[in-house]
Amino acid sequence: MNKAVISLNTGLEDAETVTVAFLVAVGAAEQGRPTLMFLTKEAVRLATDGFAQAVACDGCPALADLLDRYAKAGGTFLVCPICVQARKVDPAGFRDNAEPGGTVQMWQWIGADPAVTFSY
């Protein structure tokens, strides 16, 4: 089964976009696809345990629930270290399924395997 890579560069300033990205990622992970979310810019804060406490819209699932489902399904986060440093985010506070890493690590994770990609 193809790997899934979801690139997300926005945070809670656009909670609806974040929700859509997480719905795509959760769907891939829950179907058994190896799934990686590459978090950049303001999205790096989403890797911090307890940060994603929002509901984007009436009827939207809570982001905290989506993050929990993503983790339970085996989804992982690769968090841009340049963006982390620029925003003074402490990686020690990252969720268990998140680690700092850039584009080199993303391509290493993909390897020679086919990958479906989404960007938000």
Residue 115 forms part of a structural domain: no
Residues belonging to the chain: 120
What pLDDT score was predicted for residue 114?
Answer: 95
What are the strands of the beta sheet with 35-39, ordered from one edge?
A: 98-100, 76-79, 35-39, 3-8, 115-119
Residue 109 lies inside a defined structural domain of this protein = no
Q: Under a CB-based contact definition with an 8 Å cutoff, are residues 73 and 23 in contact?
A: no
Model confidence pLDDT, tens digit, residues 4-51: 999 999 999 999 999 999 999 999 999 999 999 999 999 999 999 988
The answer to whether residue 107 sits within a structural domain is: no
| Within a domain: 41 | yes
Question: Does residue 116 fall inside a structural domain?
Answer: no
Domain presence at residue 119: no
Range of the domain at 11: 3-101
At residue 90, the pLDDT reads: 96
Digit-coded pLDDT (tens) for 54-72: 788 888 999 999 999 999 9
DSSP 78-119: EE-HHHHHHTT--GGGB-TTEEE--HHHHHHHHTTS-EEEEE
CATH number of the domain where residue 65 is located:
3.40.1260.10
- What is the pTM (predicted TM-score) of this model? 0.94
Residue 53, domain member (yes or no): yes
Residue 108 belongs to a domain: no
CB of 46 closer than 8 Å to CB of 11: yes
Domain count, the chain: 1
CA distance 45 to 55: 16
